Homo-oligomer: A and B are copies of this chain.
Amino acid sequence: MSANVHSKSMTIKRSAEQAYALAERDGFALLDIVIDDRRLKALLDDDSCGAFVSFEGRVRNHNNASSVERLTYYGYEDLAINQGRQIIEEAKRKFAITHAIAIHRIGALDIGDVAVWVGVASAHRYPAFDACRWILDTVKAEIPVWKQEYYDNQPSKWLSNNG
């Protein structure tokens, strides 16, 4: 396996600044550096919102029985952004929420690093919980991001959310 065939999908085409601007406008972006949740939360601030729910998906030190050393996420950025925008639009139709942002990180990640972040602000609490969970599930099901886990005791593997 050559590293070169994947290297383009380990980084985003835009700058981080452009990615945050996209997240603010469309509610979705890929990033290839540490996700700044402070910055994302600030984008969701709204005095009319009494509820803010956020989810962070972090790289665990194990998956099933295997000990994970690190992993790499690869993304198809242009499709991810188009699909992510539609997911956020649909979330705003389905739930009584004010703002929502989801970010997926790509590239090489270490244990504990945040791979996906979802934040939702709403007037009341239940729609924020419901929408955050739905956005996360939908991102995991639909966004073209792939994951390769590296273990200490066996070859790396391509993972799949579909089992």
Residues on A facing B (Cβ under 8 Å): 45, 47-62, 111-112, 123, 125-126, 128-129, 132-133, 136
- Chain B hits for A47, CB < 8 A: 60-61, 111-112
Secondary structure call for the A interface: mixed
- When distances are taken between beta carbons in the complex, the residues of chain B under 8 Å from A56 are 51-53
Contacts of A133 in B (CB 8 A): 125-126, 129
Task: Return the contact of A45 from the options B51, B59, B112 (Cβ within 8 A).
Answer: B112
What is the CB-to-nearest-CB distance from A71 to chain B, in angstroms, rounded to a whole number? 11
Of B57, B123, B132, the contact of A50 (CB 8 Å cutoff): B57
Chain B: minimal CB distance from A73 (Å): 14
